[in-house]
């Protein structure tokens, strides 16, 4: 396989604070000898773990993008023992366009892994993460939210890693899964989840987990904007994850851990633990029209309960189609725009559990 065509304007192996870009050559109508410029910051100070923090894997998921731009502007080498690599907008052109996917080639970065150095621009960026950035890290946190078309109860999540047993071995998988779950809990969002993905194969998550790294993902809101409350969850979560990884020096860690302990001591802020065991969590539309959500995010629902109605647009007096929950649980995600098409996810219902550890279930 050829080398990645991406180059860096900074030195990932130097101590200190650097802000720059990784550059992917492109040739377009607007720029014959141009480059996709993806912002990257490195804050490094001596020995310690490397933590890779990413946002904007989807360009319209602003909670994580905002949190990482804020972090890049305030974290200093004096705060760090080891290295923090920050990429606030993995799909930089999508973020600039305010879209989920790249305006250059239509690529959905989080469906393009492990990537291809000879593919289109989105596949080339995925390949750069898979073969250059991810191998250098010990811990990875990827910040997602619902974007323009979903609204999601803020949570941090890990995955069951049974799918890696054949390649990594059972012992490594159990250890990696437990560490990732600990990282998701440490993030300190109102909810923590063991997440079921509809299709894992081409996800960044999978590319990172295959390399044996501790990996946490999040969903922190959505609707294509932020709120003060959700932004605070994202900002605090990034700090908490850094503290969890051990990359923060004592002085910085003391402030943060105090914050985490205070929130855990307060029963009202103990995280809601949520499991998504299988695809029956997803309620997807088989009609098009106007959506009426019948339950709110975080609300309890029972199997058989009507969670959404879809009305045909353009003709009055027609009955609505009702969508019912296939399982008991809480509403963790909903479609955000009021118009729906065939195949849209209308609602996601997940199960509240007492413990997410493997031995507990």
Binding site for Zn ion (CB under 5 A): 58, 61, 144
Q: Which is nearer to Zn ion, 184 or 243 (CB)?
A: 184
Residue 341 vs residues 58, 111, 199, 288, 313: alpha-carbon distances, Å: 21, 21, 20, 4, 11
* CA dist., res. 314 & res. 112, Å (int): 38
Q: Which is nearer to Zn ion, 81 or 180 (CB)?
A: 180
Q: Which is nearer to Zn ion, 58 or 309 (CB)?
A: 58
* CA dist., res. 108 & res. 156, Å (int): 21
Alpha helices in the chain (DSSP H): 62-74, 92-97, 121-128, 165-168, 170-187, 204-210, 228-245, 250-265
* Spatial CA neighbour of 149 closest among 91, 100, 108: 100
Residue 214: strand pairing partners: 139
Give 110: exposed, middle or buried? Use CB within 10 Å, 0-12, 13-18, 19+.
Answer: buried
Q: Which is nearer to Zn ion, 110 or 252 (CB)?
A: 110
Q: Which is nearer to Zn ion, 58 or 335 (CB)?
A: 58
CB of 61 to Zn ion, least distance (A): 5
CB of 58 to Zn ion, least distance (A): 4
CB of 157 to Zn ion, least distance (A): 12
CB of 138 to Zn ion, least distance (A): 23
At residue 319, the 3 state secondary structure works out as coil
Q: Which is nearer to Zn ion, 177 or 219 (CB)?
A: 219
CB of 256 to Zn ion, least distance (A): 26
């Amino acid at each position: 396989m050829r080398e990645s065509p991406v180059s860096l304007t900074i030195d990932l192996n130097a101590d200190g604070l650097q802000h720059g870009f990784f550059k992917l050559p492109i040739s377009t109508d607007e720029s014959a000898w141009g480059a996709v410029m993806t912002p990257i910051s490195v804050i490094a100070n001596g020995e310690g773990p490397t933590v890779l923090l990413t946002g904007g894997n989807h360009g319209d998921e602003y909670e994580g993008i905002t949190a990482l731009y804020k972090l890049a502007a305030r974290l200093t080498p004096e705060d760090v023992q080891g290295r923090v690599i920050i990429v606030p907008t993995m799909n930089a052109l999508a973020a600039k366009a305010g879209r989920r996917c790249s305006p250059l080639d239509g690529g959905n970065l989080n469906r393009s892994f492990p990537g291809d150095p000879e593919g289109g621009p989105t596949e080339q960026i995925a390949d750069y993460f898979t073969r250059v950035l991810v191998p250098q890290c010990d811990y990875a946190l990827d910040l997602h939210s619902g974007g323009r078309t979903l609204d999601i109860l803020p949570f941090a999540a890990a995955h069951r890693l049974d799918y890696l047993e054949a390649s990594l071995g059972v012992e490594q998988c159990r250890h990696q899964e437990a560490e990732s779950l600990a990282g998701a809990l440490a993030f300190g969002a109102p909810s923590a989840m063991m997440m079921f993905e509809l299709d894992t194969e081409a996800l960044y998550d999978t590319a990172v987990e295959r390399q044996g790294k501790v990996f946490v993902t999040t969903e922190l809101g959505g609707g294509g904007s932020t709120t003060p409350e959700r932004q605070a969850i994202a900002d605090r979560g990034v700090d908490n994850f850094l503290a969890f990884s051990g990359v923060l020096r004592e002085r910085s860690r003391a402030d943060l851990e105090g914050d985490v302990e205070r929130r855990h001591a307060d029963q009202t802020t103990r995280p809601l633990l949520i499991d998504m065991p299988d695809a029956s969590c997803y309620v997807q539309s088989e009609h098009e029209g106007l959506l009426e959500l019948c339950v709110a995010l975080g609300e309890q629902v029972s199997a058989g309960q009507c969670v959404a109605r879809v009305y045909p647009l353009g003709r009055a007096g027609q009955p609505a189609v009702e969508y019912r929950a296939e399982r008991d649980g809480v509403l963790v995600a909903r479609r955000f725009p009021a118009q729906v098409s065939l195949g849209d996810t209308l609602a996601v219902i997940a199960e509240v559990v007492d413990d997410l550890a493997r031995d507990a279930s």
